[in-house]
Amino acid sequence: MKVIPAVDIQGGKAVRLVEGDPARETVYFEDPVGAALYWEEQGASLLHVVDLDAALGRGDNRAQIRRIAAALAMGFEVGGGIRTLEEAREVLGLGAERVVIGTVLVRRPEEAARMLEALGPERVVPSVDGRGLEAAVAGWQEGQAGDVLELARRADAMGFRTLIYTDVRRDGTLEGLDLEVIARVREAWPHELIAGGGVASDADLEGLERLGVEGAIVGKALYEGAVDGRRWWRG
């Protein structure tokens, strides 16, 4: 099980939101570079960085991402507001190992295909996020964007080989994963699957392992100490 710490950046700070609501913010690090270095020191091998401002269309945190790249030895992926091939190339140019896309897969699948063809499946990862199985886009602010399972199958047919699924209803709540929903995503997606949204304890991660899910993005549970990442990173 690959446990991937999340560093979400809003207003230049490392924060956690509840259910993707920008107004329900907890600041964990004033400087996101500090958060990234902390997780690297703890033993993580990959970081999940989200530019919340870019996702919501109100500026970006590219300068912070560039600083993270300069400070880290480990790899990191970046999501949030990446909706064209040119933007994907720009973020990769900052030092990211791969980019995470969401809205573009739903609204402009031809552009997602263009990204995949130009950059390859190792550098572009679709994130199909939803309230349960109802997809959400535009920084999770817009729902009814299709069926998560249909989008997963579309991504497979297009040639993507890693998929992220986040349950928006539970993200940042510490309520635990909805393993029944994730099991259905697992059935629909035959390649590497990374899940998140509500991890509350090691039991959630063990549940993902039983489902054959390869990775988990964990935010609040790591920041609050509900999950000790070192157990997973050293194992």
Residues acting as catalytic residues = 8, 129
Contact (CB, 8 A) for 84 and 134: no
- In whole angstroms, what is the distance from residue 140 CA to residue 72 CA? 28
Report the alpha-carbon distance of residue 79 to residue 102 in Å, rounded: 8
Asked if residue 30 lies in contact with residue 10, where contact means CB atoms within 8 angstroms, the answer is no
Cβ atoms of 50 and 22 within 8 Å: the answer is no
Contact between 52 and 8 under an 8 Å Cβ cutoff? The reply is yes
CB contact at 8 A, 160 and 111: no
**Measuring CA to CA, which residue among 123, 140, 111 is closest to residue 75?**
123
8 A C-beta contact, residue 3 and residue 21: no
